[in-house]
Structure 1
Amino acid sequence: MQSVTVFNEGLLAFLQASPTPYHAVKNMQQQLKEKGFSLLNEGEAWDLHPGSSYMVTRNGSSIIAWTMPEQDQALEDGIRLVGAHTDSPCLKVKPQPELSRYGYIQLGVEVYGGVLLNPWFDRDLSLAGKVTYRTVDGRLTSHLIDMQRAVAVIPSLAIHLDREVNQSKSVNAQRDLPPILWQFNDDPEKFDVRNWLKDYLEQDEGVTSIDQVLDFDLCFYDTQKAALIGMNEDFIASARLDNLLSCYVAMQSLIEAPLPGSMMICTDHEEVGSASTCGAEGPFLNDVLARMFPGTETRTRVISQSLLISADNAHGIHPNYPDKHDANHGPILNKGPVIKINNNQRYATTSDSSAVLRQLAIHAEVPVQAFVVRSDMACGSTIGPITATRTGIPTVDVGVPTFAMHSIRELAGAKDAWYLYKILSRFYVQRPYVV
């Protein structure tokens, strides 16, 4: 088991190296490969052997990894799954984004997910994602890019021109958000984002044989590095804590204990409902389970004995806004992961699955907390209810308490990711996990 210091160092590095779901999956794939997980291709036949570890990706933005159990073992104990999501709210570049106004080149952006927009102003922004191009010999191929340095900014309007800004600041996503990239000296009509990306790939990435950039999936992100902050370094501050923190914890727990029957699922598009080929509402997990356990009766019996821990960040009680929480359910940072409960099924936790999580926490000597949204407020959701509905696997929703969720920079406790790691590591090795 890693120490909290070593664990957080790895977490910060992972957050910094994963500005998009594509980069997150690539980084997880590399770490899993180093630990002996073999990459499978969905388009090829699979020859799965008990005790061997595998992984498979879809769309380059979702990944499932597992260690294959013996069928008799799976029928008796089920499989132990941890689920998270790879995407985070952000600003994505539109397909025809070119804007030239008053001497400035800007890119039009689309809001992805429930973005807290105000913190995006006056930040040093970079650009990352996937670029798809045609080679000179006619093949289609893709390349991940991460410009890393600050290439854009969304300047605020000066207070002198908006005297009421501190009383009410509303953001018009179409008008207010296009970032400024540079001033132009030549004819602005000549600027084409695809030609610009082609030049970038050739000059900065060393990619050759590009005939034409055809399309892209790019997003802006804050260049400020993930860091431990506070007088005593009590907190982790970073973009994409929701939910790359959970992805990293799940991966490290799986690597720590790659025992037969252990599985990790990290899927894309949770922030927009998970309804995609590689999202939790899509067929990805069921497709993998069907190939692991081809017989319907066998698969149904295995699922009945299984458990999914859906790991997604929770809302910590904010000391400036305590009235936004139920008084008895206000999670505190660094006081342990949070079991998330909603009787209207926005979370998939049941009393039985919650009891299992609490027992794991007792054995791992980790504190846990509980969250229920105020009765007069709407509740968010996770991949937990979606996956439980799609597969029939009993599920518990859990996550580390967080401030400023969906902001460009979120805040979590420096101990809580490690606490969750201890629980998930225990989950993967403890069998059977019953009360």
Structure 2
Amino acid sequence: MDLQQFNTDLLTFLQSSPTPFHAVETMTKHLQAAGFSPLQEGDDWPVPQAGSAYKYYIVRNDSSIVAVNGGGQSPVSSGFRMVGAHTDSPCLKVKPQPELNNKGYFQLGVEVYGGALLNPWFDRDLSLAGRVSYQNDQGQLCSALIDFERAIAVIPSLAIHLDREANSKRAVNAQKDIPPLLMRSDEPSTDFRELLLAQLTLQHPAVKATKILDYELSFYDVQPPAVIGLKDEFIASARLDNLLSCYIGLQALLTAGEQNCVLVCNDHEEVGSQSSAGAQGPMLKSVLRRLLASESDFVRAMDSSVMISVDNAHGVHPNFSDKHDGNHGPILNQGAVIKINANQRYASNSETSSLFRHWSEAAGQPVQAFVVRSDMGCGSTIGPITAGELGVKTVDIGVPTFAMHSIRELAGSQDAYSLFRVLEVFNQAGDMTVS
């Protein structure tokens, strides 16, 4: 796959994945097309025989996924080549009883999910997508994904004439300033669940739904992702953090050969990862343990394995370069970034960083490093959590981006493909130890 095709497919993936549920659904379609078979966690799994190849994937909560390419070699001796990312992004989620009627306008109450940058949400064409749970005409409880796709809402800004200090002192109140506006309505009350039932029936006419019981729905910007810039040097899109990494890891897994390779994409990273589907939950460990014959085999396999935790890095912004350490300002289109923190907010150490530099050199790709300013706080990733849960050697890597956690983020148009090429080498790597 060349750079142009890689980016074209990336934009399609981003467009089709407005929520973690949709992202996992999109990934399962790619995996199934490549010969991966689903496993259900409630079923009894056969332990793969030594020397046998297999391709499995497991989904939890419709929003997290683990895919395993068993190459035929014993992971006890050769280990797993693991790539981890997360499916969730900061957004506005609809509250359980969201209906708001004010001055003849119908709005929805929303809750801020994760550390969202709120100002860019104003004056955007917004749609709504996610998972709904419903009762069908047989009295059964079911769930389905929906996506309104078109712009159905907006959060209008207050005119500067009514707030003369808007450009210097405006703060966003998450309770009262951001409920999206959906329509004019003179009705004293509008039942949001009835609107969802109509959309579900329109989108899935065969389900015969009679009642919406509950939902997990998020607003998103309908502006499609795009390659932009005078020289097409940038990719602009919502949810680059961290669907960009999910896509890179997926493509690397699909090109894996005879080594044992794993892709894990967890939900709930933006809110701490502590859930049944998050990195601090048991999902990944449970899946890998069940593919091995004994606890001893699992411990030995982890000792031979390496995890590359892939989550976007902060590129040095030309207007705010003083926010970076002077020697550690990653540049867009200059390669993937090794993320380092002395206090273990990132899991990279000298050995795992050296391994990644070695694989980058073998792939002919550049590599950069990021350390946060010593007088600023540092974010984190699933890397330290996964390392702690599994006892696996881990390195934190990311593609440099601008406007992280905004409704629309910016990355270099060459960096994702560059990291993909490094992960290809990683997935073919032999010995993964430093003597």
Q: Deviations over 1:139-194 (max 9, x none)?
A: 11111011110000000000000000001221000000100000014x232x1111
Give the aligned partner of residue 201 of structure 1.
200
**Alpha carbons 1:53, 1:258 under 8 Å: kept:** no
CA–CA distance in structure 1, aligned partners of residues 173 and 283 of structure 2 = 36
* Cα distance in 1 for residues equivalent to 2:305 and 2:87: 23
CA distance in 1, matches of 2:257, 2:57: 12
Quick check: 2:146–2:199 contact (8 Å CA) kept in 1? no
Q: Quote the residue 1:31 is aligned against.
A: 30
Question: Counterparts of 1:84-163 in structure 2 under 5 Å?
Answer: 84-163=85-164
Distance 1:38 1:422 in 2: 25
C-alpha separation between the residues in 2 aligned to 1:337 and 1:46? Answer: 37
Equivalent positions of 1:163-174 (< 5 A) are 163-174=164-175
Supply the distance in 2 between the matched residues of 1:350 and 1:301 (Cα, whole angstroms).
21
- Show the 5 A alignment for 1:143-292: 143-185=144-186, 187-189=187-189, 191-292=190-291
Query: SS at 1:332's partner residue?
Result: coil
Equivalent in the alignment of 2:81: 80
Name the CA shift for 1:293/1:48 in 2 (closer, same or farther; >3 Å). Answer: closer
Which residue, out of 67, 70, 76, partners 1:68?
A: 70
Instruction: State the partner residue of 2:54.
Output: 52
Length-normalised TM-score, structure 2: 0.97
Shift of 1:434: 4.0
**For structure 1, which segment, 297-306 or 205-214, has the greater mean C-alpha deviation from structure 2 after superposition?**
205-214
Give a deviation string over 1:87-143, Cα, whole Å, max 9, x none: 000000000000000000000000000000000000000000001001121111111
Secondary structure in 2 matching 1:387:
helix
Aligned pairs (5 A) from 1:5-16: 5-16=4-15
Report deviation, 1:204. Answer: 4.2
- SS of 2:205's equivalent? coil
Equivalent residue letter for 1:66: V
In structure 2, the residue matched to 1:401 is 400
Tell whether the 8 Å contact from 1:280 to 1:386 is kept in structure 2 after alignment: yes
- The C-alpha deviation readout for 1:325-376, integer Å capped at 9, x for no partner, is 0000000000000000001000000100000000000000000000000000
Shift of residue 77 of structure 1? 1.6
Give the TM-score taking structure 1 as reference length.
0.97
**Identity between Structure 1 and Structure 2 (%):** 56
Q: Is the 8 A contact 1:400 1:412 kept in 2?
A: yes
Distance in 2, Cα, partners of 1:24 & 1:218: 14
Structure 1 residue ranges (4+ consecutive) displaced by more than 6 angstroms after TM superposition: none
Partner Cα distance (1:27, 1:226) in 2:
16
Aligned CA RMSD, in angstroms, stands at 1.1
Aligned partners of 1:420 and 1:188: how far apart in 2?
A: 54
Q: Per-residue deviation at 1:207?
A: 4.3
The aligned amino acid for 2:251 is Q
The answer for the alignment partner of 1:305 in structure 2 is 304
Aligned residue pairs, count: 431
1:223-265 CA distance string (max 9 Å, x none): 0000000001100000000000000000000001143410000
| Residue 430 of structure 1, CA deviation | 1.7
Unpaired runs of 5+ in structure 1? none
Shift of the alpha carbon at 1:433?
3.2
